[in-house]
């Protein structure tokens, strides 16, 4: 059960007489309704409310069923119209017969910059029944004379948003404590005001209307952009009326129960977030174990990572000599000495123990991404788009480890060939968004023709790293990279940052075992 479902159940129990026990010593609701009818007749005499042409009186028949007499018409059994059964001491009544002010909307206001009169609009009726008058505009004093005194907002007035979309049907209760500087407040034409009889609990009516809110939301009329909840719909609502003392007991119990349901709802949201986040958090924990050498055991027969890195450096030098890749501006070689890590930067040796993020096995080595991979980037220019041509993949097209070509724009073959001279994507290459939504790595395995923009490209050096291992390392590292991104409106990471990023390098055979184990474990997370 969700928090909202629990709240709805509590409200339903309250309005059906099931939340608190009935007391046989309570004055029956029928007596209360007679008192309210006398009050209403007096208000009609004073000209404060209009006399109905066909007033409604609901009563219990000899068969204990509800009957309604409208005007001079004969009473009609309404057992099929009322929404549920109520206790014997309760009575059904139309909402319009429980108010001391006609149920209607306010006027269309004429605004001014500042005055002592505020206009209550739909936006002032915030969620959970709260009122926020700081959102209100001010009424021009020159038109206030057109507002009868009865139209001004009073303590315990119930408000219902009655036009438009979004908040239509939202119910709130106004209190004098909501006023700012004791300002006079009038409702606008988008808000319906309900002022309950002083002989009953306005809080009880408020909660009954909250119970009816789903019905009110469905009872709107008009076009899509001009929907409205007519006052007549609200006025004709059937209200289950308990004895006044029971109303008090219901409100006391309701407040207690709804506070608990609110707490339940908050815990439910936390639980949902936990359930949503847990698989991803567990995934990252597994990957963290993997890159720290804790996921699979080390094998003393494996070729050390230092030998693998030496082979990669030799291959890079060969590719530089052939003009296939550019020489690193600052060559990095990392090695161990006296159980510490050192980096040879050009001709200088520097201890880097304080720079490294965590410990790794002795058969592993730390390296810069740029020293063991060919790290380059796509174009940062915007080629001319064409109707048909070669897809231009950007960060927006990287999603869940795949490329979404459906939303990609097209460029000419000539522009594609020009971009590909620097950043052609081959099978086993990893794409990584550098601008905007940083990260979202994609390990590409295909042969389609496309170009890339605003993203890094990690290419394997012959006989080098297992690119699936690199992919999972980049996946794990993207949160850290986002934290250290630059830029204002649009964050980015530089190519230099990516080339200098630390990567723990296991022996190649262990890389393969890590990848195999990850493939075995991660699919099982979807079942959690």
Residues in contact with 445: Cβ distance below 8 Å, sequence separation at least 6, in sequence order: 427, 428
Query: Does residue 460 belong to any structural domain of this protein?
Result: yes
| Confidence at residue 274, expressed as pLDDT on a 0 to 100 scale | 67
Query: Does residue 289 belong to any structural domain of this protein?
Result: no
Q: Distance between CA atoms of 262 and 11, rounded to whole angstroms?
A: 13
Query: Does residue 68 belong to any structural domain of this protein?
Result: yes
Q: What percent of the chain has pLDDT over 70?
A: 98
Domain identity same for 228 and 129:
yes
- Domain CATH number, residue 466: 3.90.220.20
Domain identity same for 32 and 109:
no
Domain identity same for 391 and 449:
yes
Query: Does residue 300 belong to any structural domain of this protein?
Result: no
* Apex 161 CA angle, 160 and 164, nearest 5: 155
pLDDT along the chain (528 residues), means of 10: 83 94 94 92 86 89 92 92 94 95 92 94 86 94 90 95 86 94 94 95 95 90 80 95 96 90 77 74 92 95 95 91 82 88 86 92 94 92 92 92 93 94 93 90 94 94 94 94 76 90 96 95 77
Query: Does residue 408 belong to any structural domain of this protein?
Result: yes
Residues in contact with 434: Cβ distance below 8 Å, sequence separation at least 6, in sequence order: 377, 395, 454, 455, 456, 492, 493, 494, 495, 498
Domain identity same for 317 and 382:
yes
Domain identity same for 215 and 73:
no
- Beta strands 137-139; 171-173: pairing state: unpaired
Domain identity same for 309 and 179:
no
Query: Does residue 431 belong to any structural domain of this protein?
Result: yes
Half-sphere exposure of 327 (CA within 13 A, CB side): 9
Q: Distance between CA atoms of 80 and 471, rounded to whole angstroms?
A: 66
- 174 and 159 in contact (C-beta within 8 Å)? yes
Q: Distance between CA atoms of 334 and 340, rounded to whole angstroms?
A: 10
- Beta strands 137-139; 158-161: pairing state: unpaired
10 Å CB burial of residue 335 (0-12, 13-18, 19+) is: middle
- The pair of structure tokens assigned to 483 is 């934290």
- Of 241, 261, 290, the residue at which a domain comes to its end is 241
Residues in contact with 358: Cβ distance below 8 Å, sequence separation at least 6, in sequence order: 292
Q: Could you give the C-alpha distances from 123 to 129, 141, 162, 378, 500, in angstroms and in order? A: 12, 22, 12, 47, 52
Q: Distance between CA atoms of 221 and 459, rounded to whole angstroms?
A: 61
| Confidence at residue 488, expressed as pLDDT on a 0 to 100 scale | 63
- The helix or strand, by DSSP H or E, that contains position 96, with its residue range, turns out to be none
Domain identity same for 116 and 74:
no
Domain identity same for 343 and 402:
yes
Residue 191 β-bridge partners: 161
Q: Distance between CA atoms of 66 and 421, rounded to whole angstroms?
A: 85
Alpha-carbon torsion, ordered 66, 70, 75, 77, to 10 deg = -40
Alpha-carbon torsion, ordered 129, 133, 135, 140, to 10 deg = 130
Domain identity same for 455 and 350:
yes
> What average pLDDT does the structure give for the chain?
91
Query: Does residue 154 belong to any structural domain of this protein?
Result: yes
This prediction has a pTM of: 0.60
- 522 and 389 in contact (C-beta within 8 Å)? no
Number of neighbouring beta carbons within 10 Å of residue 495: 14
The total number of structural domains in the chain stands at 3
What is the domain extent for residue 457? 305-525
Domain identity same for 29 and 153:
no
| Confidence at residue 416, expressed as pLDDT on a 0 to 100 scale | 94
- Residue 109 is given by DSSP the state P
Query: Does residue 294 belong to any structural domain of this protein?
Result: no
- Beta strands 439-443; 430-433: pairing state: antiparallel
Domain identity same for 162 and 68:
no
Domain identity same for 376 and 476:
yes
| Confidence at residue 227, expressed as pLDDT on a 0 to 100 scale | 87
């Amino acid at each position: 059960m969700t928090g909202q479902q629990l709240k709805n159940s509590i409200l339903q129990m309250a309005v059906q007489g099931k939340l608190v026990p009935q007391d046989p010593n309570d004055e029956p609701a029928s007596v209360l309704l007679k008192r309210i009818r006398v009050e209403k007749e007096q208000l009609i005499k004073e000209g404060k409310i209009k006399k109905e042409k066909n007033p409604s009186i609901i009563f219990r028949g000899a068969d204990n069923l509800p009957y309604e007499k409208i005007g001079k018409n004969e009473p009609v059994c309404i057992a099929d119209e009322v929404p549920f059964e109520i206790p014997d001491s309760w009575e059904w009544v139309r909402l319009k017969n429980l108010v001391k002010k006609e149920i209607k909307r306010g006027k269309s206001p004429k605004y001014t910059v500042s005055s002592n009169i505020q206009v209550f609009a739909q936006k002032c009726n915030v969620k959970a029944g709260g009122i926020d008058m700081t959102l209100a505009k001010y009424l021009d004093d020159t038109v206030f004379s057109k507002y009868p005194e009865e139209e001004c907002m009073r303590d315990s007035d119930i408000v219902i948003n009655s036009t438009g979309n979004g908040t239509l049907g939202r119910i709130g209760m106004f209190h004098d404590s909501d006023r700012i500087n004791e300002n006079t407040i009038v409702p606008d034409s988008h808000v319906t005001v309900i002022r309950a009889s002083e002989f009953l609990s306005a809080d009880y009516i408020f909660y009954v209307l909250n119970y009816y809110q789903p019905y009110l939301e469905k009872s709107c009329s008009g076009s899509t952009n001009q929907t409205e909840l007519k006052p007549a719909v609200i006025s004709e609502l059937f209200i289950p009326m308990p004895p006044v003392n029971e109303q008090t007991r219901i409100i006391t119990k309701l407040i207690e129960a709804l506070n608990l349901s609110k707490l339940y709802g908050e815990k439910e949201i936390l639980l949902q977030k936990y359930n949503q986040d847990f698989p991803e958090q567990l995934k990252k924990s597994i990957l963290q174990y993997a890159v720290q050498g804790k996921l699979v055991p080390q094998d003393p027969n494996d070729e050390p990572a230092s030998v693998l890195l030496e082979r990669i450096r030799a291959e890079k030098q060969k590719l530089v000599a052939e003009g296939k890749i550019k020489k690193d501006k600052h060559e990095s070689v990392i090695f161990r000495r006296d159980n510490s890590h050192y980096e040879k930067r050009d001709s200088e040796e520097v201890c880097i123990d304080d720079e490294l993020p965590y410990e790794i096995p002795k058969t592993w080595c730390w390296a810069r991404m740029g020293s063991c991979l060919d790290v380059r980037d796509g174009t940062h220019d915007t080629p001319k788009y064409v109707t048909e041509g070669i897809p231009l993949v950007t960060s927006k097209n990287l999603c869940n480890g795949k490329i979404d070509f459906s939303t990609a724009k097209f460029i000419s073959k000539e522009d594609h060939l020009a971009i590909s001279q620097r950043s052609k994507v081959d099978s086993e290459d990893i794409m990584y968004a550098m601008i905007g939504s940083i990260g979202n790595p994609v390990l590409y395995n295909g042969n389609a023709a496309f170009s890339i923009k605003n993203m890094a490209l990690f290419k394997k050096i012959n006989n080098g790293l297992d690119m699936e291992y690199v992919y999972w390392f980049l996946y794990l590292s993207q949160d850290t990279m986002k934290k250290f991104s630059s830029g204002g409106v649009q964050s980015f990471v530089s190519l230099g940052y990516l080339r200098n990023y630390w990567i723990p390098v296991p022996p190649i055979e262990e890389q393969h075992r890590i990848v195999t184990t990850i493939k075995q474990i991660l699919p099982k997370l979807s079942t959690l």
